[in-house]
Each structure stands twice: as structure tokens, then as C-alpha cells.
Amino acid sequence: MALDGAGTFLLTMFAAQKTKRVAQRRSAPDSKPRVRGSTAWKSWAALAAASLIGGCARPSSEGGAHSPPAPTVDEDTQRGRDFMAALVSDSAEAAERDFDSRMRTALPYSALRASWHGLQKKYGAFSSWRLAKRDHLYDKDRLTLEVHFEQGLLDELLVFSANHEIVGLFFSAPRSPLAAAPTLSATQANQIEVSVGPLALRGTLVVPPSASGAPVPGVVFVAGSGPSDRDETVLGVQPSAI
């Protein structure tokens, strides 16, 4: 039971008053009959009882039940929801509100609306969507959405900048993850860095074990098409993996 300051004060005063009256009765001559209680004593008792009842009615700050905080949604996820809500309501102009300047130039709302209508023409009317995965790559947050149509399922990738602007939008057919590529030994793959003026190009140099220092044909894989790693990993598929 928790007491506030008023309740503690009243209990202290009540105890002091009671002690004082007991001391007076012991020191006074026993010529008059003792009367139990008095108006003052009863007043103190009533005030103390009221304070106790009030203290019991208020929950203690220590160990009391607290309502859990409401779950929060991060800004990128909320903007992804807003984007999809505008897109499915055929409000492409509102959907591109969070595009950065380059996205607005590359994909104006008229082209975005035409692309969305083209997907529904191919896969049927839009049915539903859900957030399938969230990850972070090269300082970019990415949301992977499962978009369901009447006749098919597509994966949608939304890429966000550090300022929470949409800098990438990709639709692709979902694929089953490929079998893991064979692990290359340390003698087969080496991390390299090539200086080109003030820039440094990093890569992975893979040499077949049978080369033994002899010249062999070479192939250069250059990653591109938006934020990606050297294997161009998208939805578990690694088209450039060696």
C-alpha cells in the first residue's frame, strides 16, 4: 500500500496525539472516571482513515500496472504504406510524393500510372499486398513487398535514401532461392583494388586453380541497375555470382 505525503503526516500526528493522551492519563490523579475517546481523537482518527482510503485508491508508482506503449512504425515503412495506398487508389501523383528528384524525372506520375495499369492488365486486378522483408544495403533501407493480383504474384522492391525518400522501385516475379554457389578457396578468389585517378575500384579477382600462372581469358562483371552488391543479389537470386 502506498501513502502520499498527506497520509504520512496524518498518521504521524495521530500517533503523537495518542501518545500525549496516554501520558496525561498516567500522570493525572485517578479521581475521575476515564472516558475513552474524545472529539479531537475521533477527528484525527477520521482524517487518518480518510487518508488511508485515499492512498489505497491511488495505485502505487512502484510496481503498479502500466499500459504498454503503443507500437511505433518506422518512417520508411510508413512511407511504403502511403505509397502503396496511393498506388492502389490510382493516385499516382500522390504516390510519387516521396520520390527524390531523380525518381520524379525518371518515373513521372503519368509513367507510374501506366506501369501500374500494365501490371494489372498482365496479372489481373490488384488483390492485396504485405510487407515480406526489410533489409539494409549500402546505407539504403529496402522494403520487399508481396503484391498479389488475381492471376499472379509479384515482388516489389522499394529503396529508400537516408532522408527517407524513395530512390528505387522494382517489380519482379518471385523466384525460389537458388542453390548456394560453391565456396571458393582463398587461392581462387582475391580481393583487389584498382586506382583510377582519385577513385579506387574494388573487386574480386577469381583465377582458376589450373591456371598456374599461365595467361587465361578474362571476363569482367560490372554491377549496376541501382543499389546492389557485386553479385547483384535481388530476392535471393545472384546473377553475377561466381
Distance between CA atoms of residues 87 and 103, nearest Å: 15
Claim to verify: residue 92 and residue 44 sit in the same structural domain: no
Final residue in a domain of this structure, among 172, 204, 235:
172
Asked if residues 189 and 206 have their Cβ atoms less than 8 Å apart, the reply is: yes
Q: 157 and 83, same structural domain?
A: yes
Average pLDDT over residues 165-173: 92
In a domain, 114, yes or no: yes
**Dist CA 52 CA 74 (whole Å):** 45
CA dihedral for 207, 208, 213, 218, sign (positive or negative): negative
| Dihedral sign, Cα of residue 19, residue 23, residue 26, residue 28 | negative
Give the three-state DSSP class for 123: helix
Whether residues 91 and 48 fall in one domain: no
Distances (CA, A) of 115 to 108, 118, 159: 11, 5, 18
pLDDT in tens, 88-141: 999 988 999 999 999 999 999 899 999 999 999 999 999 999 999 999 988 899
pTM above 0.85, yes or no: no
Q: Are residues 138 and 112 in the same domain?
A: yes
Amino acid at 53: I
Helices (H), the chain: 5-27, 39-57, 75-88, 92-95, 101-106, 109-123
| 79 in the same domain as 167 | yes
140 within a domain of the structure (yes/no): yes
**Which residues form the domain of 97?**
75-172
Q: Are residues 52 and 88 in the same domain?
A: no
Q: Which residue has the cell 487518518?
A: 48
State which of 146, 172, 198 marks the end of a domain: 172
In eight-state DSSP terms, residue 206 is E
Query: How many domains does the chain contain in total?
Result: 2
Q: What is the CATH number of the domain that holds 110?
A: 3.10.450.590
Handedness of CA 98, 103, 104, 107 (dihedral sign): negative
Mean per-residue pLDDT, 5-26: 55
In a domain? residue 195? no
Are 143 and 102 members of one domain?
yes
Could you say which of 172, 187, 207 is where a domain stops? 172
Whether residue 91 lies inside any domain: the answer is yes
Choice between 70 and 139, residue whose per-residue pLDDT is larger: 139
